[in-house]
Amino acid sequence: MAEISKGYESRDVEKKWYAAWQAAHAFAGKVTPGKEPYSIVIPPPNVTGVLTIGHVLNNTLQDMLIRRARLEGKSALWIPGTDHAGIATQTVVERELRKEKIRRRDLGREKFLEKVWAWRHEKGGIILEQLRRLGASCDWDRTQFTMDPHYSKAVLSVFVDLFAKGNIYRGKRMVNWCPVSLTALSDEEVIMKPVTGSMYHIRYELVNFPGRYVEVKTTRPETIPGDVAIAVHPQDSRYAELLGQKVRRPLGPTAEIPLIADTAVDREFGTGALKITPAHDKADFEVGQRHHLPIIDVLSADGTLNELAGPELAGLDRFAGRKKAAELLKASGALVAEEVYANNVGYSERADVPIEPRLTWQWWLRYPRVEEAKAAVRAGHIQFHPERWSKVYLHWLENIQDWCISRQLWWGHRIPVWYRQGLDKEKLTEADLRDPTKVHVSLDGPADPENWVQEDDVLDTWASSWLWPFATMGWPDEAAMKQAGLDCFYPTTTLVTGPDIIFFWVARMIMAGLEYMRPGESLDRRIPFKHVYFTGIIRDAQGRKMSKSLGNSPDPLDLIAKYGADGLRFGIVSLAPQGQDIRFQEDRIESGKNFCNKLWNACRFRQMSGPAGDNSKLTTIVARLDPARFDADDHAILDRLLATSREVNRCFYEFEFSAAAQALYGFFWNDFCDWYVEVSKAKLQEPDTKANCLAIQDLVLRQTLLLLHPIIPFITEELWSLLGYGAPGTFIEETRIENASHLASTSLAHGLVLDPAAIASVERLKNFALQARVLKAEHNVASRRDTSFFVTTTDADWAVLSANLSKLLRMAGAATVVRREQVDGAPAAVTQLGTLYLDLASTVDVGAEKVRLQKEVDALARHIAGTEARLSNKAFTDKAPPAVIEGARKQLAEQQAKHAEFERLLKSLG
RNA sequence: GGACUCUUAGCUCAGUUGGUUAGAGCACUUCCUUGACAUGGAAGGGGUCACAGGUUCGAGUCCUGUAGAGUCCA
């Protein structure tokens, strides 16, 4: 066995074990008869992405679940992969090309796509490589990419199928248009942001009443050339007599536009009159439709004003145009007022510029299986953790809108629709769309491609990732599905993701799964996952979101270099309570590293303490235990081990990961290292108790490594190997973790019964040692180890003390503890095992000592008064449960005894 | 405007069906290089649990309202 070094050096250990795991294909998800499956599909990071601290949290949690599943003997599968991320990737590559002064449109579609693929081959694997550095135990042989040929086939088949079913249609509608990316966006890709701008009051002169005006308020004067009407509420008496009149458009090409009535107008807003610009506002568009108004689109696709806006504005960017329009209106006297105005403006999520409502032809999807998607969550087939997100999910489904699935991009799945050569796409009716002589929709394209023109648009990225849980398992190819084990691994067990993509991804995956998996079978067989764990969002110390532009996101690779992957993992997990946003604190990561070092050194102590026994199995270690030589500490540490195993088990079951980390931290550091290892130092001196003590250490360390392994895989694998807990050449995950009851029954089989009385006595011993140390500290001899103590106590308690004397001396840092009938004038503390006196050779400051004792007496008197008041309250004794009342009585007795003892001590000082 | 979350020690946060004297990590003070670990050990200071009501024998915990912070949806 190699000797364990003084400090844990993570770098080489991580490198060594990850290489060994990969070489052995240790993470391969295999279908094994009789083994329960446990599967996860990774939320595919953008292929352009680099690892962020958010990924660290998300993937550490998935890795914990998968590794724990392996330890529990399940057949575990974690499928990794990346998302082609249409807009994001296209933008990145375009930006790269721009550095070489190359523009996308100059290259042309095919050449540009070649560049994107080249970029993807060069840089697209970075994030997956980074996940390996984190220790992610994905089945890398199954790595998926949403633009892989088989995946594309799945995406396009779904389009063809949903088109055939009538769920997909083409429509000219108002969409969210991004003037930078030059594509439509779905509602989910638009972020509302509060913006402070100007509200302009504009007057429109009535044609038949020169000098008389109708006033409207608008934030967008540059769209006035697109105005086709002024609308008021039909019951608005202010305008009743003017209905049907015409006003002059104050900007752009001269025109007279009607004053119309529509119930959509809010009488309370401004003057109650609204300008109607159907091309540039969704509500206006609808008003225009109802009144058969023309549509004047004054904006080009890139957000500049076009010739319809008039010569003064044409060619200007929309924001410059707004300024110019205001100036022109001011000059003409139409602008009567301008005020500062705050409102919400929709921004493009990717390009971060205001979107434009724009009337375009797009492909739309009526979602399938909406009702079943609600039912699956309501009935608990899919459980959300924390549960409250199900409300958000259901609310979205209740108000679901058709999904704009086409994007005017090149990078993505090109829509498998071909139009007959020469057909005017702008004029296609719904009937034309279903006419195979005019429009062809299929996976393979028409047999006579020369007569057809393929649709230019590609599909929204989410229209591929919504198939992720089954398209990654070979669907729709039967042979591939069999090979991937879809029958075994679908539905997946748990999805770990952020609540920010609950609509983008989670809800859509559920609907896709219900539509395509195992048609005709029950809901629970068709859903894509059983549990969804929503992580919190990681913020910086000021509570801001991590973002590239703020530069407030620490680089996980730097953190790994500094604290080790395990330190980072432990830190981030212990930082992340269920479902709350997290403020990132580097000191918690540091404490993760420190914990690893503590673990390392405890194992080092074990190794230095004595030869390794047969550690290869739990049973061989348990067989080395000698219950006849057990002392109270042995009972107590095994009791705590069982309790901690139980707690960790519960935490995994209830998705309380930080609680699991904290339970293990507390157990290992406080119970094992601070107490058991310290008392071991005395026990290891005695030939009688040494072997048993070493066996207990082995048992605790072995189980702790198993419990910790999912969180900190590298160091536990290394220590497991160094201490010989597994057969040579095997990995820790080839061992089955014993749960608490199994551990207990194994112990029982070897004649080991934990003694509650002994366990309780350890608490008294700990308190005794604590009181001794406090006395020393208060009398400035904390660091001396040659102090003597006296104790006045009962025979029974003295029996406990003397049985544990050598350990107590070590823990208290004392040379002797001697029993006396009576001690006078020495500093004293009252413990559950008797009154403890510090034997000070020097004179005691009687005055200070009296002050100290008086404080104790006063505090106890307060507590006694409180407890007595409670017990004398008839309502309490009548209604509180007996156990609580009994507890209060016991507490009172203890307080009174202690109080009496302190009073006696006080008197003895005179 | 609607929904949800949060407000506990200087900081960041736990606190699981209401039940002894409210905890952790970090920071802080004092002491200790004792043969696993100074990435460590020992002791300590620090909280009217946002506020106001209510339910209850008993409220950090349940209910109502108020204030502030945040997220999502319109």
Nucleic acid strand B within 7 Å of A26 CB: no
CA atoms of A336 and A494, how far apart (whole Å):
60
Q: Are A355 and A344 in contact (CB under 8 A)?
A: no
**Nearest protein residue to nucleotide B58, judged by CA and C1' positions:** A876
Q: Which residue has the tokens 């108004």?
A: A293
- Phi and psi torsions of A121, nearest 5°: -70, -30
CA atoms of A226 and A224, how far apart (whole Å):
5
The CB density around residue A748, as the number of other CB atoms within 10 Å, is 12
pLDDT per residue over A271-290, tens digit each?
778 888 888 888 888 888 88
Q: How far is the CA of A641 from the C1' of B21 (A)?
A: 27
**Nearest protein residue to nucleotide B34, judged by CA and C1' positions:** A785
| Confidence at residue A384, expressed as pLDDT on a 0 to 100 scale | 92
What single-letter DSSP state applies at residue A270? T
Q: Which nucleotide is nearest to A656 (CA to C1')?
A: B16
pLDDT per residue over A634-693, tens digit each?
999 999 999 999 999 999 988 989 999 999 999 999 999 999 999 999 899 888 889 999
Q: Which of A504, A563, A497, A495 is nearest to A529 (CA)?
A: A495
* Residues 532-561/A with CB < 7 A to strand B: 541, 543, 545
pLDDT per residue over A151-177, tens digit each?
999 999 999 999 999 999 998 888 888
Angle between helices A556-575 and A713-722 (to 10 degrees): 90
DSSP string, A326-345: HHHHHHHT-EEEEEEEEEEE
**Nearest protein residue to nucleotide B39, judged by CA and C1' positions:** A594
Q: How far is the CA of A672 from the C1' of B17 (A)?
A: 31
Q: How far is the CA of A581 from the C1' of B70 (A)?
A: 10
User: Residue A835 is inside which H or E element, if any?
Assistant: strand A834-839
Nucleic acid strand B within 7 Å of A762 CB: no
CA atoms of A862 and A781, how far apart (whole Å):
31
Statement: residue A848 has pLDDT above 80? no
Amino acid at A807: K
What token pair was written down for A10?
């993570």
CA atoms of A777 and A771, how far apart (whole Å):
10
Q: How far is the CA of A547 from the C1' of B44 (A)?
A: 41
| Confidence at residue A188, expressed as pLDDT on a 0 to 100 scale | 67
| Confidence at residue A843, expressed as pLDDT on a 0 to 100 scale | 54
DSSP three-state, residue A493: strand
> Of how many residues is chain A composed?
910
| Confidence at residue A294, expressed as pLDDT on a 0 to 100 scale | 87
Torsion angle, alpha carbons of A761, A765, A766, A772, to 10: 160
Nucleic acid strand B within 7 Å of A191 CB: yes
| Confidence at residue A25, expressed as pLDDT on a 0 to 100 scale | 95
For residue A331, name the pLDDT band (cuts at 50, 70, 90).
confident
Nucleic acid strand B within 7 Å of A477 CB: no
Q: How far is the CA of A546 from the C1' of B59 (A)?
A: 38
Nucleic acid strand B within 7 Å of A855 CB: no
pLDDT per residue over A729-756, tens digit each?
899 999 999 888 888 888 888 888 889 8
Question: Computed over its alpha carbons, how large is the radius of gyration of chain A?
Answer: 37
CA atoms of A246 and A260, how far apart (whole Å):
9
Q: Are A80 and A136 in contact (CB under 8 A)?
A: yes
> What's the rounded mean pLDDT across residues A528-545?
85
Q: Which of A536, A583, A250 is nearest to A386 (CA)?
A: A536
The model carries a pTM of 0.89
Residue A378's alpha-carbon distances to A395, A465, A469, A532, A829, in angstroms, are 12, 24, 21, 14, 59
The CB density around residue A218, as the number of other CB atoms within 10 Å, is 20
Cis peptide before A476 (omega within 30 of 0): yes
Cα A581 to the center of its chain, rounded Å: 8
**C-alpha angle with apex A882: A878 to A888, nearest 5 degrees?**
95
What token pair was written down for A327?
């100036």
| Confidence at residue A826, expressed as pLDDT on a 0 to 100 scale | 84
Q: Which nucleotide is nearest to A673 (CA to C1')?
A: B36
* Residues 234-293/A with CB < 7 A to strand B: none
| Of A481-485, A530-534, A549-553, A707-711, minimum mean pLDDT range | A549-553
Q: How far is the CA of A797 from the C1' of B47 (A)?
A: 37
What token pair was written down for A65?
């679940």
Q: Are A54 and A546 in contact (CB under 8 A)?
A: yes
What token pair was written down for A263?
């119930």
Q: Which nucleotide is nearest to A585 (CA to C1')?
A: B12
Statement: residue A88 has pLDDT above 90? no
* Residues 371-430/A with CB < 7 A to strand B: 388, 391-392, 395-396, 399, 401
Residues of chain A above pLDDT 70, percent: 99
What token pair was written down for A555?
């680089």
CA atoms of A525 and A523, how far apart (whole Å):
5
Q: How far is the CA of A171 from the C1' of B71 (A)?
A: 33
Buried b (16+ CB within 10 A) or exposed e, A226-247: bbbbbbbbeebeebeebeebbb
Tell me whether strands A168-178 and A183-185 are parallel, antiparallel or unpaired: antiparallel
Three-state SS sequence of A755-804? CHHHHHHHHHHHHHHHHHHHHHHHCCCCCCCCEEEEEECCHHHHHHHHHC
User: Residue A662 is inside which H or E element, if any?
Assistant: helix A657-666
DSSP three-state, residue A354: strand
Residue A703's alpha-carbon distances to A74, A615, A646, in angstroms, are 18, 12, 12
* Residues 664-723/A with CB < 7 A to strand B: 669, 673-674, 677-678, 681
Nucleic acid strand B within 7 Å of A659 CB: yes
Q: How far is the CA of A387 from the C1' of B10 (A)?
A: 34
Residues of chain A above pLDDT 90, percent: 42
For residue A548, name the pLDDT band (cuts at 50, 70, 90).
low
pLDDT per residue over A239-273, tens digit each?
788 778 888 888 878 888 888 888 777 777 777 78
Q: Which nucleotide is nearest to A578 (CA to C1')?
A: B14
Nucleic acid strand B within 7 Å of A361 CB: no
A637 or A306, which is more confident: A637
This model of the complex carries an ipTM of 0.95
pLDDT per residue over A468-508, tens digit each?
999 999 999 999 999 999 999 999 999 999 888 888 899 99
| Confidence at residue A48, expressed as pLDDT on a 0 to 100 scale | 82
For residue A842, name the pLDDT band (cuts at 50, 70, 90).
low
Q: Which nucleotide is nearest to A597 (CA to C1')?
A: B39
- Where in A19-163 does DSSP place strands (E)? 37-41, 75-79, 81-82, 144-145
Q: How far is the CA of A583 from the C1' of B69 (A)?
A: 14
Q: How far is the CA of A190 from the C1' of B68 (A)?
A: 29
| Confidence at residue A65, expressed as pLDDT on a 0 to 100 scale | 95
- Residues contacting residue A519 through CB under 8 Å, at least 6 positions apart: A526
Nucleic acid strand B within 7 Å of A784 CB: no
DSSP three-state, residue A144: strand
Q: Are A676 and A667 in contact (CB under 8 A)?
A: no
Q: Are A384 and A655 in contact (CB under 8 A)?
A: no
Statement: residue A1 has pLDDT above 70? no
DSSP three-state, residue A377: helix
Q: How far is the CA of A545 from the C1' of B66 (A)?
A: 29
* Residues 126-185/A with CB < 7 A to strand B: none
| Confidence at residue A797, expressed as pLDDT on a 0 to 100 scale | 92
DSSP string, A558-618: HHHHHHHHHHHHHHHHHH--TTS-EE--HHHHHHHHHHHHHHHHHHHHHHHHS-----SSH
Nucleic acid strand B within 7 Å of A773 CB: yes
Q: Which nucleotide is nearest to A564 (CA to C1')?
A: B39
- Residues contacting residue A867 through CB under 8 Å, at least 6 positions apart: A888, A891, A892, A895
| Confidence at residue A145, expressed as pLDDT on a 0 to 100 scale | 95
A616 or A563, which is more confident: A563
Nucleic acid strand B within 7 Å of A194 CB: no
Residue A415's alpha-carbon distances to A6, A112, A153, in angstroms, are 61, 18, 12
Q: How far is the CA of A388 from the C1' of B61 (A)?
A: 19
Residue A530's alpha-carbon distances to A108, A385, A492, in angstroms, are 45, 11, 7
Q: Which nucleotide is nearest to A662 (CA to C1')?
A: B24
- Phi and psi torsions of A5, nearest 5°: -75, 170
**Nearest protein residue to nucleotide B35, judged by CA and C1' positions:** A681
What token pair was written down for A195?
């913006």
| Confidence at residue A172, expressed as pLDDT on a 0 to 100 scale | 82
Statement: residue A231 has pLDDT above 90? no
Q: How far is the CA of A877 from the C1' of B18 (A)?
A: 17
Q: How far is the CA of A808 from the C1' of B32 (A)?
A: 19
Which of the nucleotides in strand B have any atom less than 7 Å away from a protein CB atom? Answer: 3-6, 11-16, 19-21, 24-27, 30-44, 56-58, 69-74
Q: How far is the CA of A543 from the C1' of B7 (A)?
A: 14
Amino acid at A509: M
Dihedral sign (CA A345, A351, A356, A361): negative
Q: How far is the CA of A719 from the C1' of B60 (A)?
A: 42
> What's the rounded mean pLDDT across residues A594-610?
94
Torsion angle, alpha carbons of A485, A489, A492, A496, to 10: -80
Statement: residue A346 has pLDDT above 70? yes
> What's the rounded mean pLDDT across residues A173-184?
83
Nucleic acid strand B within 7 Å of A588 CB: yes
Nucleic acid strand B within 7 Å of A880 CB: yes
Tell me whether strands A582-583 and A538-539 are parallel, antiparallel or unpaired: parallel
Q: Which nucleotide is nearest to A890 (CA to C1')?
A: B20
Residue A441's alpha-carbon distances to A153, A304, A450, A746, in angstroms, are 14, 35, 15, 64
CA atoms of A599 and A745, how far apart (whole Å):
27
CA atoms of A438 and A661, how far apart (whole Å):
62
Three-state SS sequence of A837-906? EEECCCCCCHHHHHHHHHHHHHHHHHHHHHHHHHHHCHHHHHHCCHHHHHHHHHHHHHHHHHHHHHHHHH
Nucleic acid strand B within 7 Å of A195 CB: no
